[in-house]
Structure 1
Amino acid sequence: MEYKDYVINLEKIVRHGVEVQLSGHLMDDLSFYLGYAYQKFENKGGELAGEDAVDDIAKNRVNAGLRYRLFENTTLLLDYKYQDEQVVQKAEEVAPDEWKFSEIPMDAYHVFDLAVRQTLFKKWGFLENATLKVYINNLLDENYENLSGYPATDRTYGVALDVYF
């Protein structure tokens, strides 16, 4: 689509949905969070771009996590993400100003992430809240596609250092 065609009248996009977030402590050292979202978007306008804009969002999504404090400054983090199956529409120009739309189905997926976070210090000079995190994303090496329909990353390992000033 040309730039001039990529106009979406947001007043014509209708969202039906609900989002719920619940969090708390199961024990002093064990906390949790749980989130659920249901959403369905409809394009009530006639713009071609509106079809692409509302197609790439799964109807059901779940996020959950546990945080367990192993020691005073050490926390174990387990996160879970679920996304419902969805269908992505792809626009392809077959002739000048003539478009063909195709649908790409995407499977549902479950992803687990695991990490250990160590608080290094709360305040040191002008630096604050330094944490070191060692993580494994996509712990079970799930094969899934991202929002654009491309294969998502495999299992990844990493280290992150956060410091505020």
Structure 2
Amino acid sequence: MTPELRRELLADHARRPVGRVEIPSPGAWQEAALTTPTCGDEVTIRVRVVGDSIADLEWQGIGCEVSQASASMLASLVRPGTPVQAVPGLVASVQRRVHDTGDAAGDSASESAGDAELGDAEALAGIGRYPVRARCALLAWNALAAAVAPSAPIPPSAPRDAERAP
């Protein structure tokens, strides 16, 4: 994926976010809100789980283009019917891609495999070379992991200054 396409995808998701709501929908939801006080980004991910699958997902947030676009990419990828047990693997895949600088041999093979699995979220690949931006890119994904497993701790790759909302 070219740098130009990455920028276009980020800008498009930030301008026209998927799954973003102004007012939370009523009903029984599991949610997690994370914030990064160093830059002010905030994301709340809400999921409705039925059985072992995600039946619905919505989010709210404020912050930079990267954090908001990443939350939109998450909402476009995690569709109704996504098994809850698939979430940790999906979050781990995004974390790997964010921290992948493309320096490793065979990167083109991993990128093409990642494209099919991560869709537009592939545009987050390599942002990890800028640590503050990596926090922004992973904020929504870490909130998703916390929302589907509210009794579990925030994933170890979550920003150290992130906090779970009560």
State if a TM-score over 0.5 links the two structures. Answer: no
Q: Which protein has the larger Cα radius of gyration, Structure 1 or Structure 2?
A: 1
TM-score by length of 2: 0.27
TM-score by length of 1: 0.27
Q: Which structure has the highest helix share of the two? A: 2
Q: Which structure has the highest strand share of the two? A: 1
